[in-house]
């Protein structure tokens, strides 16, 4: 179950990082429609950090052995 949560978090991190690369700023409007509108602008390092952490987690997820199986030795190419 933890593997599923980690994979979902990694995918979310990659998608959020890609969105931050494409969008310069976002305006956050309250649900009621009235009130202060706040502008969010991510720092320059945030998209690349989210993309790299998400990609590394996805790659690590692909290498994890399944439950009940022993890890196989690395194959020689």
The stretch 20-32 carries a mean pLDDT of: 91
Q: What is the pLDDT of residues 36-61, one digit of tens each?
A: 999 999 999 999 999 999 999 999 88
Mean pLDDT of the chain: 87
Provide the percentage of residues in the chain whose pLDDT is more than 70: 83
Where do the structural domains in the chain lie, given as residue ranges? 2-30+39-62
3-state secondary structure the chain: CHHHHHHHHHHHHHHHHHHHHHCCCEEECCCCCCCCCEEECCCCCHHHHHHHHHHHHHHHHHHCCCCCCCCCCCCCC
For the question of whether the overall pTM of this predicted structure is more than 0.85, the answer is no
The stretch 29-42 carries a mean pLDDT of: 89
Dist CA 26 CA 51 (whole Å): 19
Confidence of residue 77 (pLDDT cuts 50, 70, 90): low
């Amino acid at each position: 179950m933890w593997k599923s949560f980690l994979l979902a978090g990694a995918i979310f991190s990659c998608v959020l990082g890609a969105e931050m690369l494409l969008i310069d700023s976002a305006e956050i409007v309250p649900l009621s429609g009235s009130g202060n509108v706040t502008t969010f602008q991510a720092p320059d390092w945030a998209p690349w950090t989210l993309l790299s952490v998400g990609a590394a987690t996805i790659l690590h997820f692909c290498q994890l052995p399944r439950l009940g199986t022993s890890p196989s030795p690395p194959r020689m190419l």
